[in-house]
Structure 1
Amino acid sequence: MLLYRRSLTSIAALGAIFPLSVAVAQSPTTVTDENAPIIVTGKGLRETPGTPAYDSTEIDRQQLTTTASGSIEDALASVAGFQEFRRSDSRSANPSAQGVTLRALGGNATSRALVLLDGVPMADPFFGFIPFNAIVPGRLASMQVTRGGGSGPFGAGALAGTIELTSADADTLGPFEGEVLVNDRGGTQASTNASAHLGAGFVTASGSWDRGDGFWTTPLDQRVPASAKAAYNNWSAQLRGVAPLSDTVELQARTLIYDDRRTLRFKGADSSSSGQDASLRLVGHGRWQFDALAYVQARNFSNIVISSTRFLPVLDQRNTPSTGLGGKIELRPPVGDDHVLRLGMDYRKSIGELYEDAQSAFTGAITARRNAGGANTDLGLFAEDDWTLGALTLTAGARADRYTIRDGFYLERDAAGALLTSESYPDRAGWQGSFRGGAVWHLGGGVKLRAAAYTGLRLPTLNELYRPFVVFPVTTEANAALKNERLVGYEAGLDFAPTDAIKLSLTAFDNRVDDAIANVTVGTNLRQRQNIDAIHARGLEASAQLGIGRVRLDGSLAYTDAVARGSGAAAALDGMRPAQTPQWAGSATLSWRPERGWVLATTLHYVGAQFEDDLETDVLPAATTLGAYIQLPVAGPVSLVLRGENLTDATMYTRNQGGSIDLGVPRTVWAGVKLSL
């Protein structure tokens, strides 16, 4: 708890610095040349010439802000290969299940893909899940998704790929934008953005609030008096300022706070997730380019587990405070027009512990009090060079990570406080190297050939190491002896973009995660997190963007042949498809913007059949959903907004444990107004 309080102090210190960035924006004395043009981007350094060697796609603001649900996951679902651990969205899933991966390298609820917001890793320091409800699409300018592992800043978390989110600047947001909608079940969704130019810089402020009684996740024939709708109530607020320190250097500051509360399946099965983040970033666009970032995060989580037979609380995960601390420094020295050299280091520390009470399903009395936690650190050193040789660009990078897994412990006491179990786990540390390299050959006429190979690293999270959990009646045990996951991958692709209106891409890949962490069945209603030999995924990813006048089609399709390799205690899953992994997934969005302010868009999502568990005993059938977004100008800056989720009311299984079913969102219709000044 002392470390947790210190993290709050650090956040307060960063928050106190925030107004300085605004003051700097108004101070002309900080500018080295009054006549030099000052361009404040609010972004990091530009991508390098070798970036296209790796399979990547960009989601622009148009796509981000016109989804049927208004959520960031809906926009991500349009990317071939994107996958959450469960199909539930962030209104009807337990927050700790919101792990993100790419290329069917899933299998548990921890993110194998790195998610960055303005350069800051967003994964929860304890669990590794992504707080999707805190990431509001209307605040963003764009999102770039790079599939496959590799080196670079915070590369130790980019096992399956990287999702980079960039906040919008003042010009993009405008002076004021607000939106309020209500759905056919009485749920509401409200968001607002305000921005202003201050000197040569700008400041933006935004807020959002979503609430609703939710829908029945339990099928009608399985409901009991204790069943409950998936109610939700969440809000978030962000304040961001960008200011020039000179004609080539800018300071960026951001604070984000959020609170997310949900109910799942039964009355009293409540969860909460909250966070307070702050970051400072210096970006230099001069001859010696640099990007220096520091951040601090304070997060917490709670969850009550209800028995599915007696419908009384059996576990109260009442408090899970965690802290994330870190930063990076990247330098790009001038080494000639043909080379872009990147040198740098990054650091991340995750500290957390859980406090939970086990309760009797018969009396409700506390039977055990548990406390567990630890600290993980990763210090990475990286170097990368892009070399342009006419139409050919070569890129190569190396990374060395010094990791530690320390201070792990598990305590259990009885209701009276008497110590029952006390375990302290040995500290571990080591160095691991990662490499990546690739080539891009521009053939002319918008045709590019590319190829890449890479390795990657992911440390087990504090959650995987020390926290058992229950999705009643199945208990999953933690494992303090888990090893790091290692990725080896290869890919080759073809891009065709003869004009801005036509963009086609096809990629073949072969990725293997050695010592993959999976929830392995070890007994009746009992699983344990274990390192299995590997998860091997091979497949194809295709995407297309076609524009004809004011009509645009965006589509993606992913086929993945994924197989688990296990021996010893995990021998039973050898040769099986990893849990929660579909073979086929696809998305297509057709949009029409007949006039300024008008938007008509419809999106089709398909996800193939997948297995609930590692032994392929329970199936989640394939599902196809149809969504729509309509924006109609009414008068001046006011527009009518209509949205529809799952308009065909398709049945989507999100959980199937021995025939006990959870369902995804049914048909939902939204209507509201939008004001843009």
Structure 2
Amino acid sequence: MLTRSSRTGLVLALATAVPTGAWAQAPADTPPANPIIVTGRGLDTTPAAPAYDQVVIDRARLLSAASGRIEDVLGNVAGFQQFRRSDSRSSNPSAQGATLRALGGNATSRALVLLDGVPMADPFFGYIPFSAISPDRLGRVRVTRGGGWGAFGAGAVAGTIELESAGLEQLQTAEGQALVNDRAETEASASFAPRLGDGFAVLSGRWDRGQGFWTTPKSQRVAASARAKYDAWSGGIRFVAPLAPDVELQARGMAYDDRRTLRFAGADSTSSGHDASIRVVGRGRWAFDVLGYVQARDFSNVVISSTSFRKTLDQRRTPSTGIGGKLEVRPPLGTAHVARLGADIRVADGGLQEEACSAATGLVTARRRAGGRNADLGLYAEDDWTIGRLILTAGMRADRWTIRDGYFVERSAAGALTSNSNFPDRSGWETSLRAGGVYDVGVGFRLRGAAYTGLRLPTLNELYRPFVVFPVTTQPNAALRNERLRGFEAGIDFSPGETAHVSLTAFDNRLKNAVANVTIGPNLRQRRNIDAIRARGIEVDADARWGKVVLSGSLAWTDSNVESSGAAIGLDGLRPAQTPRLAYTTTLAWESGEGARLAATVRHTGNQFEDDLETDLLPAVTTLDAFARLPVGQGASVILRAENLTNERIVTRKQGASIDLGTPRTVWAGVRISLP
């Protein structure tokens, strides 16, 4: 396993590995033979992309989230969910897995989240560091529900969320904003995007901090209760430069640190990371996309007893490293075909260092170390074939996966060895297929359908790390099998003009060997494979514009059930934990055309259960958010935001009588400055 210093050094080496010659300008009297245009994006989507259920979020919506956070933006796509209803200010970072289509969750992402083509999931846990991804750095987001595929497709069993950084055409040379809310919490961000020769650079940073709100209801507070305090910063640097008229180099580096306190004083968690990537994109006759990345991440967490209010677990370090890359080429096969041939690799290496403590005394009773290494090498091929108004697509992916070097060691406080396990290495090949088609009927109608299979390896966290949400302990399981998805969908799109669009999709997905937190005793759960999670439902997305008024909405209704036998027979027919049946969101906005924007968003999340046995119900909730941007001068605007304007009671966790609450009514005010 790489040491912390070597991991950080590798990140910095990759972040600075940009040839200085890329920034050289041609002499003024020697115009280039061909115009050089850099975009900072990857290759365009293929013609058959509309065969799948996709939603695109534009920059206007990215910049007008009431909370200013990317998970709030993604919440506008019905069916998107994290493990809990909390955002990245008031939840444990390890609970921030992203999923779609009501396939359930155990805090690990079942959706693949990419930032400029790079997987963002934590190498050890599989959660997404949402606090490090600022919406104002992005140009657009594309969400594809259903089994993912292509580069890094192993892991996209619920879908793919592609985050695309903003380019020069979307950024001002200098931008910044600062806001404060009614609890005196602050948010500040800034970016600088200068041109460098024929390329450009973007430097950006963000800092959020605050005392937080009370997640514990007033009737349940004790002397040890604490607000959900948070203090998080992130910074990034991105370079884009041409290497040839149709080839460009993209390099990105990011660092972040996030500190939170949850429920009790001393129940502190931290997450931090250093990421870097280099990408070369060619858009010539033989288009190609070559990418390499490295991630150095860490996590810590302190668990406080809800009875003695002493430390019971100190997960003081969980260092991990993610290394990967891809190569994709698109050979020229004529105007009727767009083919993709590619290979990708991901390696995740990490381990935990924790001390268990006595709830009565707070003294250390055991010291544990655990971890391992997962790897996946994928090969894929796909072709889109255009036949008049009909576009067909088909492809295959083969994954060589390995789970190895797993271990668990426990010693007493005095250092005596009490447990020492080395788990057997495992490996194998898995194949995934997908096919689909889209037919343009005419008069604005388009029919589409697709079928697919998919794969997800259990994370190092699921395999080797226990965790506690006091008083419930969840054990790992080094014998977990891979999850396998089979699904199909059919849909219809209607666009009566350029200002309106409606999309309706019906789907049936089955996730075999789904990993779930299964109750095996009082206050005791274990990660186990259940037979399957079956999710069938309907998704509707719509948007329309009337002059300066924009209306958009998204709805997901899903019948999701557990299929289980054997030791987990009691779960058969139940709804997966943390999975609502109904979710919808509607946004009404007014845009002046001169920079002003007013928007209101209604979001509803239906009933869902805290646990696998459906004993603790999290009631349905409907919230109202608002946003206003009002220009007040050249390049200056006043920003007003309101979260949960009606102050609805949002239950995010329930275990018996003990509950946690989500964001109460919160009002923000500030300014945004843009300099061309």
Partner of 1:365: 363
Instruction: Note the 1:444-593 alignment, pairs <5 A.
Output: 444-593=442-591
Secondary structure class of the residue paired with 1:104: coil
Q: Deviations over 1:232-264 (max 9, x none)?
A: 000000100000000010000000000000000
2:604 partner letter: Y
Match for 1:486: what amino acid?
Answer: R
Q: Deviations over 1:615-640 (max 9, x none)?
A: 00000000001000001111211111
Report the Cα distance in structure 2 between the residues aligned to 1:477 and 1:214, rounded to whole angstroms: 30
Q: Which amino acid aligns with 1:146?
A: T
> How far, CA to CA, are the matches of 1:336 and 1:522 in structure 2?
58
3-state DSSP of counterpart to 1:337: coil
TM alignment of 1:144-159, pairs within 5 A: 144-159=142-157
Q: Partner amino acid for 2:467?
A: F
Residue 15 of structure 1 is matched in structure 2 by 15
Cross-structure match for 2:598: 600
Do the aligned partners of 2:486 and 2:509 also contact (CA within 8 Å) in 1?
yes
C-alpha distance in structure 2 between counterparts of 1:500 and 1:511, whole Å: 32
SS at match of 1:156: coil
Describe the superposition over 1:598-649 as per-residue Cα deviations: whole angstroms up to 9, x where unpaired.
Answer: 1100101100000000000000000001000001111211111100000000
**1:77 aligned residue:** 75
Deviations 1:37-93 (A, max 9, x none): 111010000000011101001000001110100000111011021111100111000
For the residue of structure 2 that corresponds to 1:63, the secondary structure is: helix
Alignment match of 1:279 (pick from 270, 273, 277): 277
Distance 1:153 1:2 in 2: 25
Which residue in 1 is equivalent to 2:648? 650
Corresponding position of 2:40:
42
- In structure 1, the residue matched to 2:422 is 424
CA-CA distance at 1:172 after TM superposition: 1.1
Instruction: Give the percent of matched residue pairs that are identical in Structure 1 and Structure 2.
Output: 63
Structure-1 residue corresponding to 2:214: 216
Equivalent position of 1:135 in the other structure = 133
- The whole-number CA distance in structure 2 between the counterparts of 1:74 and 1:23 is 40
Structure 1 range deviating more: 588-597 or 6-15: 6-15
| Alpha-carbon distance, 1:446 to partner | 2.0
Q: Among residues 391, 395, 410, which one is paired with 1:412 in the alignment?
A: 410
| Stretches (4+) displaced over 6 A | none
* Cα contact 1:307–1:361 (8 A) shared by 2: yes
Post-superposition CA distance 1:305-345 (Å, at most 9, x none):
00000001000000000000000000001010000010010
Aligned-pair CA distance for 1:107: 2.8
Contact 2:2–2:321 at 8 Å: present in 1 too? Answer: no
2:450 alignment partner AA: A
Q: 1:635 aligns with which of 633, 654, 663?
A: 633
CA distance in 2, matches of 1:318, 1:435: 42
Counterpart-to-counterpart distance in 1, 2:423 and 2:464: 10
Question: In the alignment, residue 211 of structure 1 is paired with which amino acid?
Answer: R
3-state DSSP of counterpart to 2:11: helix
Residues matched between the structures, number: 673
Could you tell me whether the CA contact under 8 Å between 1:150 and 1:435 is conserved in 2? Answer: no
SS of corresponding position for 2:170: helix
Partner of 1:115: 113
Does the 8 A contact of 2:643 with 2:667 survive in 1? Answer: yes
Counterpart among 203, 206, 216 of residue 205 in structure 1: 203
1:173 to 171, 174, 178: 171
Separation in 1, partners of 2:2, 2:561: 44
**Which of 173, 181, 189 is the equivalent residue of 2:187?**
189
2:7/2:296 contact within 8 Å kept: yes
Whether the 8 Å contact between 2:25 and 2:198 is mirrored in structure 1 is no
Q: Give distance in 1, aligned partners of 2:313 and 2:107.
A: 19
CA RMSD in angstroms, aligned pairs only: 1.1
Q: Distance in 1 between matches of 2:644 and 2:118?
A: 33
Aligned to 1:396: 394
Tell me what 1:331 maps to. 329
Aligned to 2:6: 6
State how far apart, in whole Å, the 2-side matches of 1:500 and 1:270 are: 50
**Inter-partner Cα distance in structure 1 for 2:649 and 2:89:** 17
So what's the TM-score if we normalise by structure 2?
Answer: 0.99
* Kept in 2: contact 1:150–1:436 (CA 8 A): no
**Contact 1:103–1:560 (CA<8 Å) still a contact in 2?**
yes
Write out per-residue CA displacement over residues 237-296 of structure 1, whole angstroms, 9 at most, x where no aligned residue: 010000000001000000000000000000000000000000000000000000000000
Q: 1:198: how far off?
A: 1.0
Alpha-carbon contact 1:374-1:462 (below 8 Å) kept: yes
2: CA distance between counterparts of 1:461 and 1:2? 18
TM-score (norm 1): 0.98
